[in-house]
Amino acid sequence: MEHGGKILSLPVREGTVGIDLNPGTAYEAVTRTKVDELAEDVKEIRSRIDAIFWLIAGAIVVQLVLRAMGAGG
């Protein structure tokens, strides 16, 4: 960046800078494991809910087609 004829430079960072996400205690490790398991359970429930939604949507479409053809009651 130029500023009044001078070039300004940002300081150079050495090494990896960031947050250490590794568990530091046994409690943190157990908690992380439980949270990961809970996330997997939520994914499974979400996929089951999606399947039920598509099953119901398909049944509605079939019912509409049958009624349009005069075959459904």
List Cβ neighbours of 69 (8 Å cut-off, separation of 6 or more): none
Higher pLDDT, 26 or 8: 26
Higher pLDDT, 49 or 70: 49
Question: Any idea which of 24-28, 30-34, 60-64 has the lowest mean pLDDT?
Answer: 24-28
User: What is the pLDDT, as a whole number, of residue 16?
Assistant: 63
d(Cα 48, Cα 38) in Å, to the nearest integer? Answer: 15
Grade residue 58 by pLDDT with cuts at 50, 70 and 90: very high
Grade residue 8 by pLDDT with cuts at 50, 70 and 90: confident
pLDDT higher than 70, residue 7:
yes
> SS3 letters for the chain?
CEECCEECCCCCCCCCCCCCCCCCCHHHHHHHHHHHHHHHHHHHHHHHHHHHHHHHHHHHHHHHHHHHHCCCC
